[in-house]
């Protein structure tokens, strides 16, 4: 839940109705890939333990041969991974000195009048938990400021 890779959000057009291009870049950093490979190998050892093999028939999609090679296992992971959480940080909040920050502490978009962002995209870092409750809090708090 603390990846080192960062994805990208890119506008595809000046037309606000056109969807942006979102690239998650999961496992794009070598340390992320190393940790995923180590995690899958650990999960494999657990799945192949005497306690679990006594109640399972087989493991689908993965085999000993793939686990022997870091490159093959990394390729397998990239081909089969997905996300269970919401992307965060695509319009991150930060101080004026942060050239990468899109919004201020009130969710106001820098350089654009009368535009606020009040969702998970303003989170400056990835949470170690699902962002649902934090996102609700962000929306509630920015909503209070706007109503005031």
* Backbone CA torsion sign across 124, 129, 132, 133: negative
Residues 29-60 as b or e (16 or more Cβ within 10 Å = b): eeebbeebbeebeeebeeeeeeeeeeeeeeee
Q: Which residue in 3, 28, 86, 116 is the catalytic one?
A: 86
Cβ contact 95:62 at 8 Å: no
Q: Rounded to the nearest 10 degrees, what angle do helices 70-80 and 30-47 cross at?
A: 90
Q: Which two tokens stand for residue 144?
A: 């209070």
DSSP state, 19?
P
29 carries an active-site annotation = no
Instruction: Locate 100 and state its tokens.
Output: 């990468």
Q: How far is CA 111 from CA 96, 107, 124, in A?
A: 11, 12, 19
- Active site positions, annotated: 86
């Amino acid at each position: 839940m603390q990846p080192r890779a960062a994805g990208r959000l890119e506008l595809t057009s000046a037309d606000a109705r056109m969807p942006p291009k979102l690239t998650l870049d999961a496992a794009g950093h070598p340390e992320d890939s190393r940790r995923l490979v180590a995690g899958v190998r650990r999960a494999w050892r657990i799945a192949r333990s005497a306690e679990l093999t006594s109640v399972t028939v087989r493991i689908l999609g993965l085999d000993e041969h793939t686990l022997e090679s870091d490159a093959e296992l990394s390729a397998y992971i990239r081909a089969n991974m997905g996300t269970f959480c919401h992307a965060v940080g695509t319009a991150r909040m930060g101080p004026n000195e942060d050239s990468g920050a899109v919004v201020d502490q009130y969710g106001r978009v820098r350089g654009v009048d009368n535009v606020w962002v009040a969702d998970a995209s303003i989170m400056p870092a990835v949470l170690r938990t699902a962002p649902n409750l934090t996102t609700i809090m962000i929306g509630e708090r920015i909503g209070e400021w706007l109503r005031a």
